[in-house]
Structure 1
Amino acid sequence: GGGGGGGGGGLDSLRLVEWAAPAPRAGEVTIAVRAAGVNPIDYKNLPEPLGFEVSGVIKAVGHGVSLGVGDPVLAFRISGGYATEVTAPARDVFRKPAELDFPQAANLLLAGTAAAEALHLTGVTGGDTILVHGAGGAVGVSVLQQAREAGARVIGTASAAGFSTVRGFGATPVPYGPGLADRVRGLAPAGVDAAIDCVGVDEAVDVSLALVADRGRIVTTAAHARAYEEGFHAVGGTRASVTFRDNVRAHLIDLARHGRLVVPVAHTFPLDEAVQALKLLRSGHGGGKLALVVER
């Protein structure tokens, strides 16, 4: 099998190298990768092995594993998923919902668990009106669907090109840019109960602080420094975050299995074009989730 490798010099130093996945030990499986999710944390974590989530088919199993060879699966949170095969703890591997193809399944859980944690931290429940910044992005789209499951009303910021996506997931789109706070007030005269920032720009943080009185009901996935300074939540980076995300994985897969959580994939790339995929993602013009695919 092949695998992904990297150096310390940034994206252009990445190379695809020949590498054999170790045989699975007790409690492990080897996955013949069919697709790998592409996420911003991948290029932020260079030169670590890239790829936190994959989908594929079980190739080998270690002792004490209930999954079988040939089972279609998805896995998160693993290491080194940009590969033709990867060995991972079976506790991080789940049966793939038939409703998702391999590229979709490979992009379900990193964004999905971040969205779930954001809704959890802000205590979103039925009857709430919430503001989601970056509603058309990967995490935003998952927030929209999970907020709808909770019975919340969502106003989502987006570019004009993203309005149809936001509407399609049951939310009210609003253009970002100067005057955003007043536009949201016009759409929610009774007020906004919680705000979820999936962008990290100052406008999103400032508008959230202006509209939501309780800072315990504001969360960001990106503006960690502002969260620390201003006293609101940031997703990730804590032991509690890891525990919550691990525990919510099976629930998100169940939603997908029942057609209630979908994963729009904008583009797929062959594994050997990982650098191009990461550059497109980093440019902010990917138009949605990206996946690397392994042809078999």
Structure 2
Amino acid sequence: MLYRAWTFNASTTEPTELIQHHLTVKALGDYELLVENHAIALNPVDWKIIRPGFLEGSAVQVAGVDGAGIVLAAGKLAKTAVGSRIAYHQSIRGNGSYGEMAIVDSRLSWPVPAHIRFSDAAALVCPGLTALQSLQKLPSMQQQCVLVHGAGTLVGTLLVQLLAAAGARVIAVASSRHQEHLLKLGALGVVNYQQQQVLADTQALLGEHKLTALFDCIDAEKVAAFYPLLDVNSHVITIQGRLTNNPFPAFDKAISLHEVALNTLHRYPSAGQITALQTEFAKLLQCGVSTVEPRLQTISFAEIPQSLQKLKQGQYAKYVAILKAEQ
């Protein structure tokens, strides 16, 4: 059986250089599923790995990590029935989601209820799982002050929503165009990062309180300005990049450094971690659709390379390719 897919190789430099190939469906492994894609979501990580040196020699790889569709076949140890509606996340180290079909690890797939569109489910996978994995790093946030830097990103917006629902007092740092939406999601206040008095505005919202946690969704190095606002036993969670050194000397503020790396679940499958994400993502599918829908921009399968290039150039949209018409 042949299917079309967008691929890159060791010399590919830009998303617009993706090449469409006809590939043959290979035999399934024990935990694998063959999925007929109905929707494919585009993510920043998709273009970040399309660069010289990521692949070696003559290797060719299907791009993309997120998709949703119908299970056509299942390996003998997969616990997902043929005909199931699922969303999935792929490893960056193997053939991905940018195809009419995809072979996926059943353990990194999630049921999609009939009332939820495949496009919404696919759009939520990577940002939703990233937000959920970020929250796993922390103890209870009930009544704790937390800051989300880059709250205008989809991951950041979902974090604000989830943290507020967990009872945290959330300060969002984002551009002014996101203010109304973030306040509706439960943010205590929104600080415009484009203003010079960012630290002073944040301090004004905190009052006499300190930050228990600081989430960064943009650039790990850019959150340093907020370190004076951290409490003595607090947490810094970086989603884009990592902090290699503790910014405070010994016997000073005892902060914990955390990083989020969603792809590691493919390399080191953890039953406990995956089960926790399965449960929480099922909940997120019920409440997160309204957060992702305003950003959703549907495209055709043929438009994937050009749309991924726009995403790389900073286009504000959540692109999802539709392969099958949704009812």
Q: Would you say same fold, with TM above 0.5?
A: yes
1:251 aligns with 2:279: yes
Contact 2:164–2:186 (Cα < 8 Å) also in 1 = yes
Structure with max Cα Rg: 2
1:53 offset after TM fit, Å? 1.7
For 2:112, give the aligned amino acid. K
1:114 aligns with 2:151: no
1:81 offset after TM fit, Å? 0.5
Which of residues 270, 288, 301 is equivalent to 1:261?
A: 288
Aligned residues: 291
| Structure 2: runs of 5 or more not aligned | 56-60, 248-256
Which of residues 258, 270, 274 is equivalent to 1:233?
A: 258
Which of residues 103, 118, 128 is equivalent to 2:144?
A: 128
1:113 offset after TM fit, Å? 2.2
Structure 1 residues 163 and 112: CA distance shift in structure 2, 3 A: same
For 2:287, give the aligned amino acid. R
Q: SS state of the match for residue 6, structure 1?
A: strand
Q: SS state of the match for residue 304, structure 2?
A: helix
TM-score normalised per structure 2: 0.80
Q: Which residue in the other structure is 1:149 paired with? A: 165
For 1:199, give the aligned amino acid. I
Which of residues 1, 4, 21 is equivalent to 1:2?
A: 4
Contact 1:122–1:219 (Cα < 8 Å) also in 2 = no
Rounded Cα–Cα distance in structure 1 between residues aligned with 2:170 and 2:128? 17
1:239 offset after TM fit, Å? 5.5
Rounded Cα–Cα distance in structure 1 between residues aligned with 2:150 and 2:63? 25
1:24 aligns with 2:28: yes
1:219 aligns with 2:237: yes
| Structure 1: runs of 5 or more not aligned | none
Counting aligned pairs with the same residue, the percent is: 22
Which of residues 12, 18, 24 is equivalent to 1:14?
A: 18
Rounded Cα–Cα distance in structure 1 between residues aligned with 2:246 and 2:304? 37
For 1:275, give the aligned amino acid. P
Alignment RMSD (CA, Å)? 2.5
Q: 1:1-296 alignment to 2 at 5 Å?
A: 1-7=3-9, 8-11=11-14, 12-46=16-50, 48-78=61-91, 79-171=95-187, 172-177=189-194, 178-189=196-207, 190-200=209-219, 202-203=221-222, 205-214=223-232, 216-224=234-242, 227-230=243-246, 232-236=257-261, 243=270, 246-257=274-285, 259-262=286-289, 263-265=291-293, 266=295, 267-287=297-317, 289-295=318-324
1:31 offset after TM fit, Å? 0.5
1:70 offset after TM fit, Å? 2.3
1:201 offset after TM fit, Å? 6.2
Q: SS state of the match for residue 55, structure 1?
A: strand
